[in-house]
Amino acid sequence: MAILKFPSALISGDCTTSSLTLDGGSIIDQCIVTAGEKGTFFLEQHLLYVVLGGSVKLTCGRQSWTVGKNEMILLRKAHSVSYEKQGNPDTGLFESQLFAINDDLLAEFLTSQHVTIPPMTEEYGAKVSPMSERLVAYCWSLSPYFNDPSQVNPGLLKLKVMELLYNVMDCSKNIFRQMLQLRQPVKTDLHRVVEDNYTSPVTLEDLAYLSGRSLSTFKRDFQETYGESPAKWIRTRRLQKAHQMLEASNMSVADVAYSLGFENPTHFSRIFKEHFGTTPSAISAN
């Protein structure tokens, strides 16, 4: 199954979704699910995940969280996140809103509020946070906007997104502190960053961001650590992982390709044969 990209591709499945979009890629997605749903999405932007009914289990690398009714979690961009949704026991419905936090919009908000970002000496990991009564009311106030998104004035929508940021700043210090760190990531262990993320459809810019380094510094540190370029190392590791998965599971060639971040099965099959001298389908058939 392909890893869907958020926000460029909205979560699909047995659900009804409606979205509000701003220039620059900011988006608010509403999801109402009538049955259990599982899948994986890759975050192209930071995501504030709000649950208004039911619960969702989110897994990112070695970490998992369960977000329940009137709770939220902030997830950093450039990560693959698996989800499993459960409806409310009484209604059977799962209701959520997903806010893609655009870097430029966040920078504009922080500048307008004259927020000085303090030096970050430790990494604040994602954490489930309760929503205040004000934040819950704000989310429900968006419901009419989803009825006819084409009629929502872009200026008004931008004000609504800014209103969200104001509410988070005033009502959830934990989430707001994490938002500040989105602008100034802490320099982290290079091994952990690449080992945790090489199977996702990340770019080198994404990995540099996750490691708290500039792209040039990331490439230099990677070369010094691994003795080869990050692009070559990532491709080799993905192919080795693909070989293992094809031998040890019943997954299709396409599912293996997508799960490891390859854009399409045809490209994956070609470079797999170049590397191993045989096709992935031949390994899968054995």
Predicted local confidence at residue 23, as pLDDT: 66
Helices 133-141 + 154-171 axis angle, to 10: 170
Domain range enclosing 197: 190-285
162 shares a domain with 99 = yes
Tell me: do 72 and 9 sit in the same domain.
yes
What CATH number is given to the structural domain containing 52?
2.60.120.280
Query: What sign results for the dihedral spanned by CA atoms 43, 44, 50, 51?
Result: negative
End-to-end CA distance of the chain: 22
Low-confidence ranges of the chain (pLDDT < 70): 1-3, 9-17, 23-26, 33-36, 117-124, 184, 285-286
pLDDT, residue 25, reads 56
**Does 118 share its domain with 37?**
yes
> What's the pLDDT at 12?
41
The residue out of 183, 202, 232 marking a domain boundary is: 183
Half-sphere exposure in the Cβ direction for 132 (13 Å, CA): 14
pLDDT at site 270 = 93
Q: Which residue carries 């049955």 as its tokens?
A: 35
pLDDT the model gives residue 60: 87
* Statement to judge: residues 206 and 173 lie in one domain: no
Do 166 and 42 lie in a common domain? yes
Q: Are residues 99 and 199 in the same domain?
A: no
CB 182 within 8 A of CB 46: yes
Q: Per DSSP, which regions of 62-215 are E strands?
A: 63-67, 71-75, 80-86, 94-101, 129-130
- Assess whether 179 and 201 both reside in one domain: no
Same domain, 194 and 178: no
Total of domains in the chain: 2
Q: Do both 114 and 218 map to the same domain? A: no
Q: What is the pLDDT of residue 224?
A: 93
Residues 204 and 262 in one domain: yes
Q: Of 146, 164, 183, which residue constitutes the final position of a domain? A: 183
Q: Which residue, of 183, 214, 235, is where some domain finishes?
A: 183
